[in-house]
Amino acid sequence: MQWIDSYASYYDGAAYKAWLISHTDYAICITGLYLAFVFYSPPYIAKYIYGGEVQRTGGKPAWLRYPWICWNFLLSIFSFYGASHVAPVLLGHIREEGLRNALCTLYPDEFYSGPIGMAVGLFTMSKLVEYGDSVFILLSGRRSLPVLQWFHHSTTFLYCWHAYAVGSTALNTGAALNYSVHTVMYFYFALAEMGLKSLVRPFAKYITMIQIAQMAVGLFLMCIVAHEKYMDYLVGRPESDPAACAGTPWDAIRVQMFIATANLVMFTQLFFKSYVHKKSQVDVTKTTK
């Protein structure tokens, strides 16, 4: 990954932050276009790509399968790059300064410059790239996406745009968690698309479990930050005080807590529907035979 880090000297996080602030409408318009594609494109895909099939029943076409494999591998490699940069720094701050200071203190030189700053900056824009997941799924012939899919992608993209623009230590924790989970998740998807689904299928529930853990840990950490900021408020400590928990503004905390809670609920529902209730139904079927 050193060849990527060689570009860090050209990265200007402050300029990127200013661009995000002055182009907030872009984020809203892009998300609007994404949602329009999600809700309105399936009939046109069925008509013009699959000759009017109401629901494609065969496997993925070869023209889509191989780009999809490459897509997942590239995102897994990129996520590994990000995790290897952001996670060790976050863990180092926790080990050396304690959890509170690691969550409450923003280091601008680290957040907006150098290899770490570039990894965090790329993380925010990778959420735009990940809209491509939905594009691939719909191009494969699916007539609709689960709410979890489009809600997770759109809210995460908007949140990351905002969090980087305002400067938030919450984004560091989110990047460390998300990069780590996506390294495994996209690698799993790539292997499944390569025809190894029967081999990797037993690990599917564990992928969902680590996604649930990501949301739960993120929510827990934001509760800690919210508690610390509330305690600052009670004692009248201004954010300019070095002892204050000023690394994450209240709006970023509220948004991340909402997104983490909503995703935690939906991922948990997915887990129970896919692995707990389904297993119970299979067991009942076996006992009635």
Positions marked catalytic: 152
Q: How many residues does the chain have?
A: 289
CA 274 – CA 267 distance, rounded (Å):
10
| One-letter amino acid of 147 | V
Q: 136: how many CB neighbours lie within 10 A of its CB?
A: 18
Query: Which residues contact residue 164 at a Cβ distance below 8 angstroms, ignoring those fewer than 6 apart?
Result: 16, 17, 20, 120, 121, 124, 171
In terms of DSSP H, where are the helices of the chain? 2-5, 13-22, 24-40, 42-48, 62-97, 99-104, 108-112, 114-129, 131-139, 147-166, 169-191, 197-200, 204-235, 250-271, 277-288
DSSP string, 204-272: HHHHHHHHHHHHHHHHHHHHHHHHHHHHHHHHT--TTSTTS--SS-HHHHHHHHHHHHHHHHHHHHHHI
CA 200 – CA 229 distance, rounded (Å):
43
CA 118 – CA 80 distance, rounded (Å):
14
